[in-house]
Structure 1
Amino acid sequence: MFDADLASSALGIELLELDDGLARAAMTVTERMVNGHGITHGGFVFLLADTTFALACNSHDAAAVAARADIRYLRPTHQGDRLTASAVERARFGRNGIYDVTVRVGDEVVAEVRGESRTIGRP
Protein backbone atom coordinates (compact mmCIF):
# COMPACT_ATOMS: atom_id res chain seq x y z
CA MET A 1 0.00 0.00 0.00
CA PHE A 2 2.75 2.48 0.94
CA ASP A 3 4.62 1.88 -2.32
CA ALA A 4 1.52 3.06 -4.24
CA ASP A 5 0.93 6.13 -2.00
CA LEU A 6 1.99 8.96 -4.31
CA ALA A 7 0.88 11.72 -1.91
CA SER A 8 3.10 10.45 0.91
CA SER A 9 6.09 9.81 -1.33
CA ALA A 10 5.77 13.29 -2.91
CA LEU A 11 6.14 14.79 0.57
CA GLY A 12 9.17 12.68 1.40
CA ILE A 13 7.48 10.52 4.04
CA GLU A 14 9.72 7.62 4.99
CA LEU A 15 8.55 4.32 6.47
CA LEU A 16 10.74 3.54 9.50
CA GLU A 17 8.98 0.56 11.06
CA LEU A 18 5.99 -1.66 10.33
CA ASP A 19 4.60 -4.58 12.30
CA ASP A 20 1.16 -5.94 13.14
CA GLY A 21 -0.85 -3.03 14.53
CA LEU A 22 1.99 -0.52 14.63
CA ALA A 23 3.95 1.76 12.35
CA ARG A 24 6.53 4.56 12.46
CA ALA A 25 7.12 7.10 9.71
CA ALA A 26 9.01 10.38 9.38
CA MET A 27 9.04 13.55 7.30
CA THR A 28 11.19 16.67 7.25
CA VAL A 29 9.29 19.99 7.12
CA THR A 30 10.20 21.86 3.94
CA GLU A 31 9.81 25.52 3.00
CA ARG A 32 6.60 24.68 1.10
CA MET A 33 5.01 23.18 4.24
CA VAL A 34 5.23 26.38 6.32
CA ASN A 35 2.23 28.70 6.64
CA GLY A 36 2.03 32.50 6.92
CA HIS A 37 2.85 32.33 10.65
CA GLY A 38 6.18 30.64 9.92
CA ILE A 39 5.04 27.32 11.39
CA THR A 40 4.23 24.00 9.79
CA HIS A 41 0.74 23.99 8.27
CA GLY A 42 -1.39 21.66 10.37
CA GLY A 43 -2.49 19.75 7.29
CA PHE A 44 1.05 18.47 6.77
CA VAL A 45 1.35 17.34 10.39
CA PHE A 46 -1.99 15.57 10.02
CA LEU A 47 -0.95 14.02 6.71
CA LEU A 48 2.08 12.39 8.34
CA ALA A 49 -0.08 11.13 11.21
CA ASP A 50 -2.77 9.89 8.81
CA THR A 51 -0.23 8.04 6.66
CA THR A 52 1.23 6.37 9.75
CA PHE A 53 -2.27 5.49 10.97
CA ALA A 54 -3.03 3.98 7.53
CA LEU A 55 0.14 1.90 7.65
CA ALA A 56 -0.74 0.51 11.09
CA CYS A 57 -4.37 -0.31 10.27
CA ASN A 58 -3.35 -1.97 6.98
CA SER A 59 -0.69 -4.11 8.66
CA HIS A 60 -3.15 -6.98 8.96
CA ASP A 61 -4.66 -9.16 6.22
CA ALA A 62 -7.65 -6.88 5.48
CA ALA A 63 -7.55 -3.54 3.63
CA ALA A 64 -8.65 -0.66 5.86
CA VAL A 65 -9.45 3.04 5.55
CA ALA A 66 -9.96 5.83 8.07
CA ALA A 67 -13.53 6.19 9.31
CA ARG A 68 -12.61 9.21 11.43
CA ALA A 69 -9.64 10.88 13.03
CA ASP A 70 -9.20 13.63 15.59
CA ILE A 71 -5.98 15.61 16.06
CA ARG A 72 -4.73 17.76 18.91
CA TYR A 73 -1.87 20.10 18.03
CA LEU A 74 0.28 20.60 21.13
CA ARG A 75 3.28 22.56 19.87
CA PRO A 76 4.22 24.26 16.61
CA THR A 77 6.94 22.91 14.35
CA HIS A 78 9.11 24.71 11.82
CA GLN A 79 10.98 24.38 8.56
CA GLY A 80 13.79 21.88 8.92
CA ASP A 81 12.16 19.95 11.78
CA ARG A 82 12.07 16.18 11.35
CA LEU A 83 8.65 14.92 12.40
CA THR A 84 8.33 11.30 13.48
CA ALA A 85 4.93 9.66 13.89
CA SER A 86 4.29 6.44 15.81
CA ALA A 87 0.94 4.63 15.46
CA VAL A 88 -0.24 1.86 17.74
CA GLU A 89 -3.36 -0.25 17.60
CA ARG A 90 -5.53 0.01 20.71
CA ALA A 91 -8.39 -2.30 19.66
CA ARG A 92 -9.73 -4.30 16.71
CA PHE A 93 -13.27 -5.60 16.65
CA GLY A 94 -15.33 -6.75 13.69
CA ARG A 95 -14.46 -4.43 10.81
CA ASN A 96 -13.34 -1.63 13.15
CA GLY A 97 -10.07 -0.56 14.72
CA ILE A 98 -8.90 2.18 17.07
CA TYR A 99 -5.38 3.63 16.75
CA ASP A 100 -3.38 6.29 18.57
CA VAL A 101 -0.71 8.27 16.75
CA THR A 102 1.89 10.45 18.43
CA VAL A 103 3.87 12.96 16.36
CA ARG A 104 7.21 14.13 17.78
CA VAL A 105 10.17 16.32 16.98
CA GLY A 106 12.96 14.53 18.82
CA ASP A 107 11.54 13.64 22.23
CA GLU A 108 8.99 16.49 22.21
CA VAL A 109 5.37 15.54 21.47
CA VAL A 110 3.85 18.01 18.99
CA ALA A 111 0.52 16.32 18.16
CA GLU A 112 -1.72 13.44 19.22
CA VAL A 113 -4.23 11.71 16.93
CA ARG A 114 -6.96 9.16 17.66
CA GLY A 115 -8.09 7.35 14.52
CA GLU A 116 -10.82 4.83 13.84
CA SER A 117 -10.49 2.47 10.89
CA ARG A 118 -12.93 0.32 8.95
CA THR A 119 -11.94 -2.66 6.82
CA ILE A 120 -13.06 -2.74 3.20
CA GLY A 121 -13.05 -5.36 0.49
CA ARG A 122 -9.94 -5.39 -1.66
CA PRO A 123 -10.59 -4.23 -5.26
Structure 2
Amino acid sequence: MMKTVNLHDVIRGESAPPACDTTMGVKLIEAKDGFAKGVWTIDEKFINGNGVIMGGFVAGAADIMMSYAITSLLTEEQAFASINLQTTFHRPTFPGDVDIEVNVDKFGRTVSYLTAELKQHDKLVGSAVSSVMITPKP
Protein backbone atom coordinates (compact mmCIF):
# COMPACT_ATOMS: atom_id res chain seq x y z
CA MET A 1 0.00 0.00 0.00
CA MET A 2 1.28 3.45 -0.93
CA LYS A 3 2.11 5.76 1.97
CA THR A 4 1.05 9.37 1.53
CA VAL A 5 2.85 12.26 3.16
CA ASN A 6 1.07 15.24 4.66
CA LEU A 7 2.81 18.23 3.05
CA HIS A 8 1.67 20.47 5.91
CA ASP A 9 3.75 18.25 8.21
CA VAL A 10 6.75 18.53 5.87
CA ILE A 11 6.45 22.34 5.85
CA ARG A 12 6.32 22.36 9.67
CA GLY A 13 9.36 20.07 9.83
CA GLU A 14 7.34 17.28 11.46
CA SER A 15 7.66 14.74 8.64
CA ALA A 16 10.15 13.63 6.03
CA PRO A 17 9.35 14.73 2.47
CA PRO A 18 7.81 12.37 -0.08
CA ALA A 19 10.07 9.96 -1.93
CA CYS A 20 9.79 11.98 -5.16
CA ASP A 21 11.52 14.92 -3.45
CA THR A 22 14.41 12.86 -2.13
CA THR A 23 14.75 10.84 -5.35
CA MET A 24 15.06 14.06 -7.36
CA GLY A 25 17.24 15.78 -4.76
CA VAL A 26 14.78 18.65 -4.17
CA LYS A 27 14.88 20.12 -0.66
CA LEU A 28 12.35 22.54 0.78
CA ILE A 29 13.86 25.60 2.49
CA GLU A 30 10.64 27.46 3.34
CA ALA A 31 6.96 27.59 2.43
CA LYS A 32 4.47 30.13 3.73
CA ASP A 33 1.75 32.49 2.53
CA GLY A 34 1.72 31.16 -1.04
CA PHE A 35 5.50 31.24 -1.46
CA ALA A 36 7.96 28.36 -1.50
CA LYS A 37 11.71 28.25 -1.82
CA GLY A 38 13.93 25.25 -2.25
CA VAL A 39 17.13 23.93 -3.72
CA TRP A 40 17.56 21.12 -6.22
CA THR A 41 20.91 19.37 -5.98
CA ILE A 42 21.41 17.68 -9.34
CA ASP A 43 23.81 14.83 -10.01
CA GLU A 44 24.85 13.17 -13.27
CA LYS A 45 21.96 10.69 -13.35
CA PHE A 46 19.71 13.47 -14.69
CA ILE A 47 21.90 14.21 -17.74
CA ASN A 48 20.47 13.44 -21.17
CA GLY A 49 22.39 12.28 -24.26
CA ASN A 50 23.21 15.89 -25.09
CA GLY A 51 25.09 16.42 -21.80
CA VAL A 52 22.52 18.67 -20.10
CA ILE A 53 19.77 18.03 -17.57
CA MET A 54 16.68 16.50 -19.17
CA GLY A 55 13.88 19.09 -19.42
CA GLY A 56 11.29 16.83 -17.83
CA PHE A 57 13.33 16.78 -14.63
CA VAL A 58 13.49 20.59 -14.63
CA ALA A 59 9.68 20.66 -14.92
CA GLY A 60 9.41 18.01 -12.19
CA ALA A 61 11.56 20.02 -9.78
CA ALA A 62 9.36 23.10 -10.36
CA ASP A 63 6.23 20.99 -9.83
CA ILE A 64 7.55 19.64 -6.52
CA MET A 65 8.17 23.12 -5.17
CA MET A 66 4.78 24.30 -6.50
CA SER A 67 3.13 21.67 -4.31
CA TYR A 68 4.59 23.32 -1.22
CA ALA A 69 3.57 26.84 -2.29
CA ILE A 70 -0.07 25.83 -2.81
CA THR A 71 -0.13 23.68 0.34
CA SER A 72 0.94 26.70 2.38
CA LEU A 73 -2.45 28.27 1.57
CA LEU A 74 -4.65 25.18 1.97
CA THR A 75 -6.43 23.89 5.04
CA GLU A 76 -5.83 20.35 6.29
CA GLU A 77 -9.19 19.42 4.69
CA GLN A 78 -8.17 20.51 1.17
CA ALA A 79 -6.17 18.77 -1.53
CA PHE A 80 -4.92 19.80 -4.96
CA ALA A 81 -4.17 18.38 -8.39
CA SER A 82 -2.30 19.91 -11.30
CA ILE A 83 -4.39 20.89 -14.29
CA ASN A 84 -1.47 21.90 -16.46
CA LEU A 85 2.22 22.71 -16.23
CA GLN A 86 4.03 24.74 -18.87
CA THR A 87 7.79 24.99 -18.67
CA THR A 88 10.13 27.31 -20.56
CA PHE A 89 13.84 26.55 -20.73
CA HIS A 90 15.99 29.68 -20.83
CA ARG A 91 19.42 28.01 -20.91
CA PRO A 92 20.86 24.55 -20.30
CA THR A 93 20.89 23.21 -16.76
CA PHE A 94 23.90 21.25 -15.51
CA PRO A 95 24.73 19.16 -12.43
CA GLY A 96 24.99 21.29 -9.29
CA ASP A 97 22.52 23.35 -7.29
CA VAL A 98 19.45 25.05 -8.72
CA ASP A 99 17.46 27.52 -6.61
CA ILE A 100 13.69 27.30 -7.03
CA GLU A 101 11.20 29.98 -6.00
CA VAL A 102 7.45 29.67 -6.46
CA ASN A 103 4.60 32.11 -5.96
CA VAL A 104 0.88 31.48 -5.95
CA ASP A 105 -0.15 34.39 -8.14
CA LYS A 106 -3.90 33.84 -7.82
CA PHE A 107 -5.49 31.72 -5.11
CA GLY A 108 -9.05 30.78 -5.97
CA ARG A 109 -11.71 28.62 -4.36
CA THR A 110 -11.40 25.91 -7.03
CA VAL A 111 -8.46 26.92 -9.26
CA SER A 112 -5.17 28.62 -8.44
CA TYR A 113 -2.33 29.88 -10.65
CA LEU A 114 1.34 29.51 -9.79
CA THR A 115 4.67 30.62 -11.26
CA ALA A 116 8.14 29.24 -10.64
CA GLU A 117 11.66 30.37 -11.43
CA LEU A 118 14.66 28.06 -11.42
CA LYS A 119 18.11 29.66 -11.24
CA GLN A 120 21.59 28.19 -11.45
CA HIS A 121 24.56 30.44 -10.63
CA ASP A 122 22.07 33.35 -10.34
CA LYS A 123 20.95 32.88 -13.97
CA LEU A 124 17.44 31.89 -14.98
CA VAL A 125 17.51 28.36 -16.42
CA GLY A 126 13.79 27.67 -16.40
CA SER A 127 10.40 29.06 -15.55
CA ALA A 128 7.06 27.35 -15.19
CA VAL A 129 3.42 28.28 -14.87
CA SER A 130 0.75 25.98 -13.55
CA SER A 131 -2.98 25.84 -12.94
CA VAL A 132 -3.96 23.81 -9.90
CA MET A 133 -7.39 22.46 -8.98
CA ILE A 134 -8.39 22.78 -5.31
CA THR A 135 -10.58 19.94 -3.99
CA PRO A 136 -11.77 18.55 -0.67
CA LYS A 137 -9.51 15.78 0.64
CA PRO A 138 -10.89 12.38 -0.28
| TM-score scaled by length of structure 2 | 0.82
1:66 aligns with 2:79: no
- The answer to whether the 8 A contact 1:88-1:101 is kept is yes
**Deviation (angstroms), 1:53:** 0.8
Q: CA RMSD in A?
A: 1.3
What's 2:18 paired with? Answer: 5
- Counterparts of 2:121 and 2:65, CA distance in 1: 17
2:107 & 2:32 partners in 1: Cα distance?
15
Q: Is the 8 A contact 1:25 1:48 kept in 2?
A: no
Counting only pairs closer than 5 Å after superposition, residues 61-100 of structure 1 correspond to structure 2 as 61=75, 62-79=78-95, 81-100=96-115
Q: 1:54 and 2:67 equivalent?
A: yes
* Structure 1, unpaired ranges of 5+: none
State percent identity of aligned pairs. Answer: 21
Distance in structure 2 (CA, Å) of the matches to 1:86 and 1:4? 18
Gap regions ≥5 residues in structure 2: 1-6, 11-15
In structure 2, C-alpha distance between the alignment counterparts of 1:25 and 1:115, rounded to whole Å: 17
Tell me: higher relative CO, structure 1 or 2? Use CA pairs within 8 A at least 6 residues apart.
1
User: Equivalent residue for 2:34?
Assistant: 21
Could you give the per-residue CA deviations for residues 94-114 of structure 1, whole angstroms, max 9, x where no partner exists?
211011100001310011101
CA contact 1:27–1:83 (8 Å) conserved in 2: yes
Normalised TM-score (structure 1)? 0.92
Q: How far off is 1:4 after superposition?
A: 4.9
Secondary structure, counterpart of 1:40 in structure 2? coil
- Matched residue pairs, number? 122
